[in-house]
Amino acid sequence: MELSTLTNTPGARTARKRVGRGCGSGLGKTSGRGHKGQNARKGHKHKLQFEGGQMPLVRRLPKRGFNNARFNDKALAVNLSDLEKNFEAGAEVTPETLAQKGFWDNKQPKLKLLAKGELTKKLTVKGVPVSAAAKAKIEAVGGSVA
């Protein structure tokens, strides 16, 4: 490969549209803007939902309900059965070790340990929120939750 042989793939670079350069160009006279009207004017910009001064659909429809999406924090659930499969007896379970095992990444803001499944290994859980039932099961097999 040499610099003199490099080329763009077809369609990677397109020529800019040269408007108002005579009728033969296909974009002369009105320069692709049609005849008259708001859209033909210089500086024409309006909002996406603008309907020519008519009351927009968004404002014509009634507002109903309540959306809690901004405040609804969802936690990623990790079950005791997952810990049973992926951790050795006596291991320490932290957010870092869970990330290394592929349970958690930074895209999920929160994480919580739930009691689904059985646990037979003694584990030490640190820095991970744990449900009350999961805490009871961990402590029942001799593990600890900090």
pLDDT of residue 104: 81
Measured CA to CA, the distance from residue 83 to residue 98 in angstroms comes to: 9
Over the stretch 117-133, which tens digit does the pLDDT of each residue have? Answer: 999 999 999 999 999 99
Nearest to 121 by CA among 76, 94, 95, 83: 83
pLDDT of residue 114: 94
Range 76-145 has CATH code 3.100.10.10: yes
To which residue do tokens 């008519």 refer? 54
Measured CA to CA, the distance from residue 122 to residue 142 in angstroms comes to: 6
Q: Are 78 and 111 in contact (CB under 8 A)?
A: yes
Can you give the residue ranges of every domain in the chain? 76-145
Q: To the nearest whole percent, how much of the chain has pLDDT over 90?
A: 65
pLDDT of residue 68: 86
pLDDT of residue 113: 92
Low-confidence ranges of the chain (pLDDT < 70): none
pLDDT of residue 45: 84
pLDDT of residue 18: 94
- Residue 95: CB atoms within 10 A of its CB come to 14
pLDDT of residue 138: 94
pLDDT of residue 55: 95
